[in-house]
Amino acid sequence: MAAIIRLSSVCRRGVKPLFYQSTLLARPLVVPNKYQEQPHLLTARIHSSQALYAGSDSKAASLHWTAERVLSILLLAMGPVAYFSPGPAIDYSLAAALTLHGHWGLGQVLTDYVHGDTKIKIANASLFVLSTVTFAGLCYFNYNDVGICKAIALLWSK
């Protein structure tokens, strides 16, 4: 037999929900199976990244988290530096930092929302290609055009 909990028994003493006093709103915590004696518990699958299954230690995850934060702070510091002293070194540093920041950010989105071994492999390969093309495009723009710093300055000047 399934265990039943009434909503009114969960509420504080003396406080009863206005519209939820009916026993029809009781929900089972365990659903019995017709063909077996043992009831099946209703559970939800929690998806986690492949690195957790691979046996990675917490030190590597901590270093990755720290590197993400350091990169974000560096990006904040690169803004004024790029404005006051634009040059090729800052342009290529911005290209690398922006690409890496985007790669890590989209990697977290893929970890959270893409499930299934084949889909994960395709998504990670696509992310790698996207990051490579982004970095190559920014480097091409820095080498053959005005560069990231001057391009942003030109956008702000108009």
Q: pLDDT tens, 136-156?
A: 999 999 999 999 999 988 888
Q: Is 47 annotated as a binding residue?
A: no
Is 60 within the bounds of a domain? no
**Structure-derived torsion over alpha carbons of residues 64, 69, 72, 73, reported in degrees to the nearest 10:** -140
Read off the tokens for 3.
């265990």
pLDDT value of position 158? 72
Q: Encode pLDDT of 22-76 as tens digits.
A: 444 445 555 555 555 555 555 555 545 555 445 556 888 889 899 999 999 999 9
Q: How far apart are CA 45 and CA 42, in angstroms?
A: 10
Overall number of domains in the chain: 1
Q: Tokens 């990697």 belong to which residue?
A: 107
109 occurs within a structural domain: yes
Indicate whether this model's pTM tops 0.75.
Answer: no
Is 101 labelled as part of a ligand binding site?
Answer: yes
- Asked if the structure places residue 102 within a domain, the reply is yes
Q: How many residues does the chain have?
A: 158
Q: Is residue 132 part of a domain?
A: yes
Q: Is residue 52 part of a domain?
A: no
CATH of the domain at 129: 1.20.1300.10
Is 50 contained in some domain? no
Amino acid 43 reads T
- What the block records as the tokens of 122 is 């395709």
Strand pairing class (40-41; 30-31): antiparallel
Assigned domain for 64 exists: no
Q: Range of 112's domain?
A: 70-157
Residue 75 counted as domain residue: yes
